[in-house]
Structure 1
Amino acid sequence: MNDVLGAIHTAIESSVSTVENNPLLNMSIFGAFVAITLFIVIRASRNNKTAADYYAAGRSFTGPQNGFAISGDYLSAASFLGICGAIAINGYDGFLYSIGFLVAWLVALLLVAELMRNTGKFTMADVLSFRLKQGPVRMAAAITTLAVCFFYLLAQMAGAGGLVALLLGIDDAIGISLVVAVVGVLMIVYVLVGGMKGTTWVQIVKAFLLIGGALVMTIWVLAINGFNLNTLLESAVAQSTSDPQDAILGPGLQYGANPWDFISLAIALVLGTAGLPHVLMRFYTVPTAKEARRSVVWAIWLIGLFYLLTLVLGYGAGALVGPETIKAAPGGVNSAAPLLALALGGPLLLGFISAVAFATILAVVAGLTITAAASFAHDIYANVVKKGNVPPDGEVKVARRTVVVIGVLAILGGIAVQGQNVAFLVALAFAVAASANLPTILYSLFWRRFNTRGAVWSMYGGLAAAIILIVLSPVFWGAETSVFKVGTAIWPLNNPGIVSIPLGFFLGWLGTVTSRKPEDPVKAAEMEVRSLTGFGAEKATHH
């Protein structure tokens, strides 16, 4: 057995250095992929006439279709590239990302999904401003939405740069920057042409391919190890560079030195999903609340299956490729899954898996961009600036212009964060979502007394706390992986969730109890009835 593993290692080490010898095959698989998805987007975009078509795909998707699209939106580059790399290097502690992302779905399903669908129209701010003052609440919700989308976009762009760098053997910063720019331009085209309907179909196709590709690789890895998980773990331990070697099977390798960082990360992962605007927006693409529930159940099955597969893929990459080879490859930690594909099926499987990972990035980025654009055009432009006096096509025009601006910002940010672990960057987006959005969503849905001051304090306070703590933390200062390698971090934790999330809840409560102005009790009662029963929601979505 060890002889076989040794032979595989030698082959991989020689092939990692020659990955760049086969860029033609990789790029042709890539090109075919982009061509097919563009064709789908153009076909889907024919009916984009109204804002409801552009933002919510005309509410034309069924529960299972939307379930695939949600899993397509949710299983980002972080889930595939970041988590596989984290498990390959840090074992047990890397798998905690998978568990956190999955448990988070239960929070979204039980507390938020159906109630949001019943109350809203296009965006999260529709729900929050339903019974509060339109102007300040919409403005705050749009700003927090844009902030979360921006952090999440950075993560996807970092993944794209690392992935294509590995495929084309590009090591220099200028080459990687060009790659990030190409991803950004492609994403702008997808969203401009396809709107939510085109984006949704790309996500459905991508979810099929990603889960299918991961399943094939998992079965392959298990077959090499005689379908014995024990053998696989022993091989991973044998290749591990940790001290002692079996440390990758137990907790503490990554977070042992600072358990507070782990608790902070865990809170952010579990509570973040229910506040992610691009996932919440997916609930509006189905016609009824019942379909919204069905879509979440489908999504949980698909996402649950995928995260189980990451355990085998991560340890498989550790066993067959080895942590040292992964860290040394272009793309670093994020290259574990593509290198495992190279080890198993040679350049052809590498090309396919990389194309799938690339499609993953494109689909998620498109979903994020359309959410951010909808938030700006629908909430800030149409409802705050123009007070609802917008011609029928005016809102969509502004949304399309916003897409271009967001695309350019994402390209510039993506170039700045090259080399960071993607799963880690996404955890920051989750922390911002859980701090700025979740308290207001839960208070709006479940606390009758909640008012405008509470909402505004909670959103701005949670957002500011999360961002300030990130800027003062080792993410920015003084470590090898920091944005700036100089200086020392003032705040010791990498993830701000442990402080910023409770602070968001506290400020929502404090703002409400210190405000003398009661909100409209009739609106509060109407929102409660509508969120729980769906009564009136269908009427609201068709006007």
Structure 2
Amino acid sequence: MISQIAAPTTGSPMINLSVFLAFVLVTLFVVYRVTNRNSTASDYYAAGSSFSGAQNGIALSGDFLSAASFLGISGAIAVHGYDGFLYSVGWLVAWLVALLLVGERLRNTGRYTVGDVMAFRMKQRPVRAAAANATLVITFFYMLAQMAGAGGLIALLLDVHSRSGQALIITAVGLVMVFYVLVGGMKGTTWVQIIKAGLLLLCVTFMSVFIIAKFGFSFSALLEQATRNSSLGERLLDPGGWYGENAMSQLDFVSLSLALVLGISSLPHVLMRFYTVPNAKEARRSVVWCSWSMFVFYLAILVVGYGATALVGSDAILAAPGGENSAAPLLAFEIGGPMLLGIVSAVAFATILAVVAGLTLAASASFAHDVYANVIRDGKADARSEIRVARLTAIVIGVFAIIGGIITNGQNVASLVSLALALAASANLPTILYTLFWKRFNTTGTLWSIYGGLVSGLVLIIFSPVISGTSTSIISSVDFHWFPLSNPGIVSIPLSFICGYLGTVLSKRPADPEKQAEMEVRSLTGIGMKV
């Protein structure tokens, strides 16, 4: 069985490619049909706030059920066991706690971007520029994870093993993604997310039910077979299979957990979705629908991960093109042959396309709305020129995403996403919480908080084992790392809170009490929100 799966070609590349192209054509048609002219900024950035809470909740889950969730976590569970599943636990807890606290208030206060909230009662130009810089860096790191997932999946499913061949197809994926954003704006991108999320939930639910049935609906029997087929043996079910049991590994795990739990509530492309609903009630419904969707998904992905170990084997997964990211596709091939593998490949490609499209839209909106319209044009830009700048920015971001995906091809996508989450939790979360809940918070504190978290996070990532110093590093041939942890969250997140506090108390510029009072009323009631 393992030798068959680990063969040079898994399934039929023609079937895989055909199913994927069919999905692309269907979604392109949907984008074309549902998209209006996007003549106003509200249409392009927030779909005119026309989606219901249920629709937006499914799209929200689609935004976060990315290649990291489907490919990265299933692979992490299959190879590392218990430690891999803790990724999904952290993300689910974050949805249940953080977004219920932040989501509705942020939706009531802003218009299109995170920068709207951060700059509401601060000096506009420097704060909006800082918010845009943070958004661009965070979305770029998140894009790296998705494009890396695309590379690994392509290698496995289309039997493209050369770096140049994978680079060409990553480029094609990037071009389709840019097309979604240019033509569809937020409305088209949201419908792609809804379709993708529905397919993904159906796919993992079907696979998990089939796997459990294969073991007589006994999860214990599944786990027992998984331990027999894993190089870790019984340790597959115990903590420490990935991060080890020494003090430094445990500290790294704590750092990762902080990034997972706190990062989601500050991801720009996720927070931007709250502006697509018409009122606060629908925003709350969005969180409920999203939370249930993610609960079902992560419950199923636990079965899929251990099922891949039981039916495929950890050695075969690691030996396959794409490594850990190949666990779910290999399992699909084992239980359903080439056709199910083709369907799973289409869903995985759809996941990558849709999430990167959402990221590109968030980054281009932040630059066009915060930097061009409010910094360069001082709030006097017309809607047509602002949308034109957003579309040009999307093209530039797409090019960088393609280049980054080629460089990071082969990395575990879940671990790459954790870096983006650490940066989001460091640069955005302290600033958002201070802005919403601390009356004394001022412009200096905002800038110190954003740049303190962003710069410290970037520096620690650059000089961490993720970039250099180990066989699994992005640049494995050199060693210039001095920071011992793979995730900077345990340092950069508290540092951002401290910087925001010190910047505020040491600044001689007081907060604006009238703006603060207006913001408090609006965040709680939505009264005065611009549409």
What SS does the aligned partner of 1:46 have? Answer: coil
Among residues 135, 152, 155, which one is paired with 2:142 in the alignment?
152
Confirm or deny that 1:31 pairs with 2:21: yes
Confirm or deny that 1:426 pairs with 2:417: yes
Name the counterpart of 1:135.
125
Name the counterpart of 1:68.
58
Name the counterpart of 1:254.
242
Name the counterpart of 1:517.
509
Shift of 1:536: 1.2
Change (3 A) 1:488 1:253: farther
Residue identity opposite 1:268 in structure 2: A
Confirm or deny that 1:341 pairs with 2:332: yes
Separation in 2, partners of 1:215, 1:289: 31
Name the counterpart of 1:99.
89
CA deviations 1:59-81 (Å, max 9, x no partner) are 00000000100001110000000
Residue identity opposite 1:241 in structure 2: S
Separation in 2, partners of 1:404, 1:304: 35
Separation in 2, partners of 1:104, 1:339: 30
Equivalences, count: 527
Name the counterpart of 2:360.
369
Name the counterpart of 1:4.
none
Name the counterpart of 2:488.
496
What SS does the aligned partner of 2:383 have? Answer: coil
CA deviations 1:189-218 (Å, max 9, x no partner) are 111010000000000000100000000000
Name the counterpart of 1:302.
293
Using the size of structure 1 for normalisation, the TM-score is: 0.96
Shift of 1:20: 5.2
Separation in 2, partners of 1:400, 1:45: 15
Residue identity opposite 2:251 in structure 1: W
Separation in 2, partners of 1:314, 1:234: 14
Shift of 1:491: 0.6
Conserved 8 A contact 1:170-1:330: no
Shift of 1:145: 0.5
Conserved 8 A contact 1:316-1:340: yes
Conserved 8 A contact 1:107-1:271: no
CA deviations 1:146-169 (Å, max 9, x no partner) are 111000000000001111111111
* Unpaired runs of at least 5, structure 1: 1-9
Separation in 2, partners of 1:170, 1:480: 23
Separation in 1, partners of 2:347, 2:219: 26
What SS does the aligned partner of 1:393 have? Answer: helix
Separation in 2, partners of 1:18, 1:455: 53
Separation in 2, partners of 1:163, 1:434: 29
Conserved 8 A contact 2:181-2:360: yes
CA deviations 1:200-239 (Å, max 9, x no partner) are 0000000100000000000010011000000000000011
Conserved 8 A contact 1:440-1:458: yes
* Unpaired runs of at least 5, structure 2: none
Residue identity opposite 1:110 in structure 2: L
Conserved 8 A contact 2:74-2:328: yes
Confirm or deny that 1:163 pairs with 2:174: no
What SS does the aligned partner of 1:489 have? Answer: coil
CA deviations 1:478-497 (Å, max 9, x no partner) are 10111221225201000000
Conserved 8 A contact 2:5-2:312: no
Among residues 202, 205, 225, which one is paired with 2:215 in the alignment?
225
Separation in 1, partners of 2:26, 2:469: 44
Separation in 2, partners of 1:487, 1:403: 34
With 204-213 and 479-488 compared, the bigger mean Cα shift is at 479-488
Root-mean-square deviation over aligned CA pairs: 0.9
Confirm or deny that 1:533 pairs with 2:525: yes
Name the counterpart of 2:170.
180
Name the counterpart of 2:30.
40
Shift of 1:55: 0.4
Name the counterpart of 1:118.
108
Percent of paired sites with the same residue: 61
Shift of 1:520: 1.6
Separation in 2, partners of 1:505, 1:265: 18
Residue identity opposite 1:166 in structure 2: L
What SS does the aligned partner of 1:169 have? Answer: coil
With 171-180 and 415-424 compared, the bigger mean Cα shift is at 171-180
Shift of 1:21: 6.3
Conserved 8 A contact 1:118-1:532: yes
What SS does the aligned partner of 1:17 have? Answer: coil
Shift of 1:310: 1.1
Name the counterpart of 1:54.
44
Name the counterpart of 1:325.
316
Confirm or deny that 1:201 pairs with 2:188: no
Conserved 8 A contact 1:131-1:524: yes
Conserved 8 A contact 1:114-1:292: yes
Separation in 2, partners of 1:176, 1:458: 39
Shift of 1:109: 2.5
Among residues 225, 235, 244, which one is paired with 1:235 in the alignment?
225
Residue identity opposite 1:397 in structure 2: R
Shift of 1:107: 2.8
